[in-house]
Structure 1
């Protein structure tokens, strides 16, 4: 651990220039005294590091010195593709390896390229989470990721919409979509998708997983997610939307908003428009439209219109019983 920290300190000084003992201590979550000992170790090893005293002082390397000790460990090489997505790397249990890999990669670049890469990292940040989302606590994810890396079969207890089932699966990959993790695995040689938060128990088996020779995770996910959206939005509804309702629909259902723009009929003088949009079946469609409030009105189908009226009456009755509307 200490040797790894010494190398990381050396690379940081190379990339960032002068750094104070306090800044280095905060970076590695150790004491300032530990940093002073580490600097002494680097000096004893022949690294030309010196200290500048004063308010703006700190440690820095002699001009022109560059380390070539940037070889990746196997774990860091595995984590490298995730180095720019810190949250995903941390979820998978390889956050430290990803950070170390990123440092080594920057240090291995020519001086100007390294500075440019740092400028990009300081000015552009990828946040895969949706607004108002806080992610999911997924204690099993590191063990699941390990099984994926090592091609080990797993046994899961999975809570689906209909029931809780046991499955023996061949892991194929993990996908993050909108801040949520999905597990792609083969059941009886057929790829299936499982939401990780619905996995209630995980057992990593001794047997080796059977992975199809030509399986492409990215292609599978693109096809599966498109088919999922089609199956999810399997019904149609004719609606009237106010200007605000049309904007709200974009946040409630981007796919429905896109369809509305295609089928939009000219606006009336009051700004309301007519459109036909895809909706989920049953109660899901009712709750979707409730989020639009009085800025949307379903005209067809009659069954959905009646379901909305029934739900609205139930809501009004509930608030009336508690001293609200009379």
Structure 2
């Protein structure tokens, strides 16, 4: 780990010319004290790094210094393969490997192209962390060490032992045969089988993982697109699904349809409002979807959903009727 960090430190200095200890610490995700120790280690190893004092000072390499440390590691090469989505790389625990790989790619360019590439990166922003309304886009997060262990088992074809916390249940240990990894809208999933049955696990709910020595029972080749389609279909048609008939302002139609699993029927009432029969994953999903529509949507059936929304609204009225 430290060797990779030292290489990244040298490449950062080559790319940017001069950086402060604070900036280096932020880029390498370590403390400034660690950066200073790394600088000392590089100097002791003969790397011509020097410090410039003053307000705009920092660390830099002697002009003309060049390193051949641009070979990509396995994880760095893998990170580049999924770099079409920066968030995809992070979902698979490859965020730091992607950053390191991109430094090596830039450093491997001829000097003239290196400057052009560095300038171009300042003109492109992909998947920012907030949208135009300043809403922070929160992605699933799983510990890198856990995701790395899952990733190793997927690639090596060995069984995997998981400590998994399913929604609303106490965490349990289980042994699975890993098939592949999928990322959808910033959420990472492990596709696997357990005792021959298909299973899908959200990476952020895996508390611990251990690659086992036994080979996994799985096909040599897999069509992940088809496997994901089949599991998505099963998810939409099984479980504790709820069917709701809702009256709706036509302007909010796409919003409701986008959150539901499926729209079964759709008609227009005499007053111009839509009447949709839709399915949701479960009761909580249905209540959330109708509540967020406010007065633009109304659950017509089932009655328990109407009662639940009424009680929730009454509680809110009572809260705001009291003095602050």
Q: TM-score of the superposition, structure 1-length normalised?
A: 0.69
User: Corresponding residue for 1:14?
Assistant: 14
The worse-fitting range, judged by mean Cα deviation, of 125-134 and 66-75 is: 125-134
User: Corresponding residue for 1:228?
Assistant: 235
CA distance in 2, matches of 1:87, 1:177: 10
Provide the secondary structure at the position in 1 that maps to 2:19: coil
Asked whether the equivalents of residues 233 and 279 of structure 1 are also in contact (C-alpha less than 8 Å), the reply is no
CA distance in 1, matches of 2:191, 2:230: 13
Asked whether the equivalents of residues 249 and 296 of structure 2 are also in contact (C-alpha less than 8 Å), the reply is yes
Asked whether the equivalents of residues 152 and 206 of structure 1 are also in contact (C-alpha less than 8 Å), the reply is yes
Asked whether the equivalents of residues 234 and 278 of structure 1 are also in contact (C-alpha less than 8 Å), the reply is no
CA distance in 1, matches of 2:236, 2:116: 40
Flag the 1:253–1:121 CA change in 2: closer, same or farther, 3 A.
farther
Provide the secondary structure at the position in 2 that maps to 1:276: strand
Question: CA deviation digits over 1:76-128, x for unaligned, max 9?
Answer: 33444356766665665554433322211221234455445444544313358
Asked whether the equivalents of residues 11 and 107 of structure 1 are also in contact (C-alpha less than 8 Å), the reply is yes
Flag the 1:205–1:256 CA change in 2: closer, same or farther, 3 A.
closer
Residue 187 of structure 1 pairs with residue 188 of structure 2? no
Question: CA deviation digits over 1:192-237, x for unaligned, max 9?
Answer: 3123455566554320113312202244224433553465797765
Flag the 1:2–1:51 CA change in 2: closer, same or farther, 3 A.
same
Question: CA deviation digits over 1:144-187, x for unaligned, max 9?
Answer: 23322332202446565798776432111222333333221123
User: Corresponding residue for 1:280?
Assistant: 280
User: Tell me, which stretches of 5 or more residues in structure 2 are unaligned?
Assistant: none
CA distance in 2, matches of 1:114, 1:82: 23
CA distance in 1, matches of 2:129, 2:240: 24
Provide the secondary structure at the position in 2 that maps to 1:168: strand
CA distance in 1, matches of 2:200, 2:129: 20
User: Corresponding residue for 1:240?
Assistant: 247
Asked whether the equivalents of residues 159 and 178 of structure 2 are also in contact (C-alpha less than 8 Å), the reply is yes
User: Corresponding residue for 1:151?
Assistant: 157
Residue 135 of structure 1 pairs with residue 133 of structure 2? no
CA distance in 1, matches of 2:20, 2:319: 61
CA distance in 1, matches of 2:241, 2:213: 41
Flag the 1:26–1:204 CA change in 2: closer, same or farther, 3 A.
closer
User: Corresponding residue for 1:37?
Assistant: 40
CA distance in 2, matches of 1:33, 1:234: 57
Rg bigger for which structure?
Answer: 1
CA distance in 1, matches of 2:74, 2:244: 54
Q: What's the C-alpha RMSD, in Å, of the aligned pairs?
A: 4.6
Provide the secondary structure at the position in 2 that maps to 1:124: coil
CA distance in 2, matches of 1:155, 1:216: 23
Q: CA deviation at 1:70?
A: 0.7
Q: 2:305 aligns with which of 308, 311, 315?
A: 308
Asked whether the equivalents of residues 286 and 307 of structure 1 are also in contact (C-alpha less than 8 Å), the reply is no
Provide the secondary structure at the position in 2 that maps to 1:7: helix
Flag the 1:90–1:155 CA change in 2: closer, same or farther, 3 A.
same
Q: 2:216 aligns with which of 209, 212, 233?
A: 209
User: Tell me, which stretches of 5 or more residues in structure 1 are unaligned?
Assistant: none
Q: TM-score of the superposition, structure 2-length normalised?
A: 0.69
CA distance in 2, matches of 1:177, 1:35: 38
